[in-house]
Amino acid sequence: MIRFLFHRLLFQALPTLLVLTLLSFLLVRLAPGSPFASEKELPAQTLETLNKAYGLDQPIPIQYARYLGGLLRGDLGPSLKKPGRSVTELIASALPVSLELGAWALLYAVAMGLTLGTLAAIKPGGWGDHLAMGFALIGICIPGFVLGPIAALYFGLKLEWLPVMGWDGPLDRILPILSLGSIYAAYIARLARGGMLEELSKDYIRTARAKGLSETRVILCHALRGGIQPVVSFLGPAAAGLLTGAFVVEVIFQIPGMGRIIVNAAQTRDQFLVLGCVLLFGSLMVLFNTLVDVALAWLNPRIRLQKEPS
C-alpha cells in the first residue's frame, strides 16, 4: 500500500499540480487588462511603479520562476487589491467555512445516497425502489443554483422555519447543506443501487444466504463492501464538485467562505489571489482523488496489484 501511495503521489499528483500551476499562471498573466485599472485612470508613472513593486514588469518566464520559488517556500504572494494583506491570510480566514460546508454536504450526500440506493436494491421494482429513484431523478435534474433559492424562498421566507443567510448557528447550516448535498446524494443513490444489485447477484452472496445468515448481515457485512466501490470512485469528483459548487451556494446564502473571495478576486483582477484560490482547490481535488484511489485499492486488492509499479 505504501508503494502504491508513493507511486500515485510521485507520478500523478505532483505532475498534475505542476501543469495546473503553469496553465493557471499563464492564463492569468496573458488575460487582457491591468489589475490596477480603475474608473479613474492612473498616471503612467504610477502604473509603472506599481508593476515594478509587484514584479509584473518582468518577462513572464521570470515572473513564473519567482512565483514558483515563492510556492516552494509556502508564499502565495500579496493581494493586489488589499495592500498589506497576503493571499495566505485571506484564504486562511475563509477556507475553514468552505471546508466545513463541503464536509457536511458530502457527509449528508453519502449517508442519504447510500441509504436510498441500498433500500432500492433490496427489492428492485418495488415501491421503495421507485421512490428512491424518483428522488434521485429530481435531484439530478435540479441544479444547486435553482434548488438553493427555492429552499430559501419556501422554508426561509414563506414558512420562516430556517434562516436564509449567515453562518453563525446550527440552523444557518441546514439550507446550504441540503442545497449543496442533495444533488450528489441523487448520483450516489443511483450508483449505490447499481453496485448493490450487481453484488447481490453474485455466488458468494447466495452462499452466505444458504448458510443461514440474516439478510441484514448479508447486506452490511458482505454485499456492501463490494457494492460501494462505484460510490467510492465517485467521491473524488463529488468532493471537487462540492467545493466548486459551494461558491454559488455561499453567494446565495451570504456565507463568508471562499466563494465570495474568489468571485471578488476575479471581478477586481486580483491576480495573485485568483492564482492562490485556483491552486488551493486544484491541490484539494488532487488530494481527494488520491485518497479515493487508496480507498479503492484497500477495498479491492486487485486494483493495487494491477497498478503498482513493477
Whether residue 103 contacts residue 176, with contact meaning beta carbons closer than 8 Å, is answered with: no
Q: Could you tell me how far CA 276 lies from the centroid of its own chain?
A: 16
Q: Name the amino acid, one letter, at 285.
A: M
| Cell numbers placing 87 | 493571499
Q: CB atoms < 10 A from the CB of 267, how many? A: 9
Beta bridge partners, 86, equal 78
Q: Name the amino acid, one letter, at 45.
A: Q
For the cut 50, the answer to whether the pLDDT of residue 310 exceeds it is: no
For the cut 80, the answer to whether the pLDDT of residue 300 exceeds it is: no
The pTM assigned to this predicted structure is 0.75
pLDDT band at 38 (very low <50, low <70, confident <90, very high): low
- Domains of the chain (ranges plus CATH)? 90-258 (1.10.3720.10)
Beta bridge partners, 78, equal 86
The radius of gyration computed from the CA coordinates of the chain, to the nearest angstrom, equals 24
Whether residue 280 contacts residue 102, with contact meaning beta carbons closer than 8 Å, is answered with: no
**pLDDT tens digits along 149-207:** 888 888 888 888 888 887 888 888 888 888 888 888 888 888 888 888 888 888 787 88
Alpha helices in 201-257 (DSSP H): 203-210, 215-217, 224-227, 229-252
Instruction: Give, for 273, the enclosing helix (H) or strand (E).
Output: helix 271-299
CB contact set of 253 (below 8 Å; sequence gap of 6+): 148, 152, 164, 165, 166, 172, 175, 176, 179
pLDDT band at 301 (very low <50, low <70, confident <90, very high): low
